[in-house]
Amino acid sequence: MEDSKLPMALRSNLLDLFGQIEREFENLYIENLELRREIESLNERLSGEGQTVEGGDLSKGALKTKASHSTSQLSQKLKTTYKASTSKIVSSFKATTSRAVCQLVKEYVGHRDGIWDLAVTRVQPLVLGTASADHCSMLWSIETGKCLLKYAGHAGSVNSIKFHPTEQMALTASGDQTAHIWRYMVQLPLPQPPADISASLDDDVDFSDKDEADGDADGPNECPTIRVATTTLKSHQGVVIAADWLVGGKQVVTASWDRAANLYDVETSELVHTLTGHDQELTHCCTHPTQRLVVTSSRDTTFRLWDFRDPSIHSVNVFQGHTDTVTSAVFTVGDNVVSGSDDRTVKVWDLKNMRSPIATIRTDSAVNRISVSANQRIIALPHDNRQVRLFDMNGVRLARLPRSNRQGHRRMVCCSAWNEENQACNLFTCGFDRQAIGWNINIPALLQEK
């Protein structure tokens, strides 16, 4: 070990993990010896009594079945223990040997509090939208990182933002118990040379106490500000935590801490349906990109699928695969739903068979608002521990976004959003370090197939 090139901390960690594995194997070996002694003792007793009971020989009959069953259980226990003890090492090696390229492209700095949510517009020009606890929502130039427009119509934290599928309209949900629809018009600035990432904010800065004037230096207050909504939706009796457009953009759904989701008509602002059934506060809602389907997540450890495809029947299905708050559940292109939870798992579900997940991803930190890319179907997991990890739909880890003193998030990462229209900057994340980050993610198809 004296010739090892590994750092001392990593070497100590490996030795500790291997020591745990050795102790587990030792315990299982002792159990195996005791089991064999019991079998031999039973065999001797049967022989001493002169009985010719079938199974008296270890090689045949019921005793053979019992021994075989015990051996099978032992083998399964060994396998489970080995997997659990080595999961950290294996996942570290996977990340090290992957050929995925993940690079930080742009930082979007200007909010004065944590950023809860973000989204990319669905019509030209493509811009980034953010929703923040500072009561504001901002639109950003993806290329330059400059604020283009600020919406300041809410009286509480802005908890989510979604863009209309065909028009220049945004939908925001807020702690003021309302959801707002507002129109925007932006003009993209000319692209500038990329900034030196090493000149970003120093890691020693305390973001909670940072002077608010720093936000002004980046120019967010110089951009146009909208203060009045085009439409206000206000039927909830609690915080509106999320909202989304149904396919076609003529209706929206909102999710609230009052344990209900509401379906509204955009043109009339009228409440069409109230979706009840969750036992605790809702945490998220999402709509299917091509069908009239809605999924709502809740602190009651479930998420529900609401079907509005038949005007006369509004069915609901309950998914019960998690043991803690379901922080988000999103549709993928096709017949899958991906759910993330505070129980540190992410599960992939088939809408045609909802009894059990088809894949489960286990992590070391709570999972926040996830997103799935449409083309490559890559799941981006933002974590409480400041990490962002990428997995495929089979639960295989593809990469972890870089995080160092000069790059990545410095606080909890709240949300991720893919933008496959822009090859240079195709993934965005945001968090409570008051910034959004644009990333370039390049994962070869061959790596995903593995």
| Calpha distance 176→240 (Å, rounded) | 7
User: Does the pLDDT of residue 214 top 50, yes or no?
Assistant: no
Mean pLDDT of all residues in 88-95: 44
| pTM for the whole structure | 0.73
Question: Beta partners for 418?
Answer: 427
In DSSP terms, which residues pair with 150 in a beta bridge? 138, 225
Does residue 132 contact residue 108 with C-beta atoms inside 8 Å? no
Among candidate residues 370, 390, 369, 384, the one with its CA nearest the CA of residue 440: 390
Confidence label for 351 from pLDDT (cuts 50, 70 and 90):
confident
Tracing tokens 């900034």 back to the chain, one arrives at 195
Instruction: Indicate whether 212 pLDDT > 90.
Output: no
**Pick the residue with more confidence: 308 or 13?**
308
Percent residues over pLDDT 90 in the chain? 60
Query: How remote is the C-alpha of 87 from its chain's centroid?
Result: 20
Confirm if 372 and 332 have CB atoms less than 8 A apart.
yes
d(CA 408, CA 402): 6
For the chain, what is the mean pLDDT? 83
**How would you classify the pairing of strands 128-132 and 115-120?**
antiparallel
What is the percentage of the chain residues whose pLDDT exceeds 70?
A: 79
The answer to whether the CB of 192 falls within 8 A of the CB of 145 is no
Phi, psi torsion values for 46, nearest 5 degrees: -65, -40
Q: Which pLDDT tens digit goes with each residue over 404-415?
A: 767 899 999 999
Residues counted in the chain: 450
The residue with greater pLDDT, 340 or 15, is 340
Contact 283, 328 (CB under 8 A): yes
pLDDT tier, 204 (very low <50, low <70, confident <90, very high otherwise):
very low
Strand arrangement, sheet containing 240-245 = 240-245, 251-256, 261-265, 271-275
Average pLDDT of 255-277?
96
Range with the largest mean pLDDT of 37-41, 210-214, 347-351: 347-351
Query: Confidence class of residue 162 from pLDDT cuts 50, 70 and 90?
Result: very high
Residue 446 C-beta-side C-alpha neighbours within 13 Å:
2
Cα of 360 vs its chain's centroid, Å: 12
- Output the pLDDT for position 9: 77
HEC assignment per residue over 302-347: CEEEEEEEECCEEEEEEECCCCCCEEEEEECCCCEEEEEECCCEEE
For CA atoms 16, 17, 22, 24, the dihedral sign is positive
Higher pLDDT, 253 or 95: 253
What pLDDT shows up at residue 367?
A: 97
Higher pLDDT, 314 or 264: 264
Q: Give alpha helix (H) positions in 150-259.
A: 213-217
Burial of 49 (0-12, 13-18, 19+ CB in 10 A): exposed
Is residue 223 very low, low, confident or very high in pLDDT (cuts 50, 70, 90)?
confident
Is the separation of the CB atoms in 171 and 164 below 8 Å?
yes
Residues 413 and 433: beta-carbon distance below 8 Å: no
Report how far apart the first and last C-alpha atoms of the chain are (Å, whole number).
33
Q: Which residue has the higher pLDDT, 57 or 203?
A: 57
Number of CB atoms found within 10 A of residue 266's CB: 20
- In this prediction, residue 215 has a pLDDT band, given cuts at 50, 70 and 90, of very low
What pLDDT was estimated at residue 18?
86
pLDDT of the residue at 205: 37
Is residue 401 within 8 Å of residue 102, measured between CB atoms? yes
The label of the residue with tokens 């807020």 reads 174
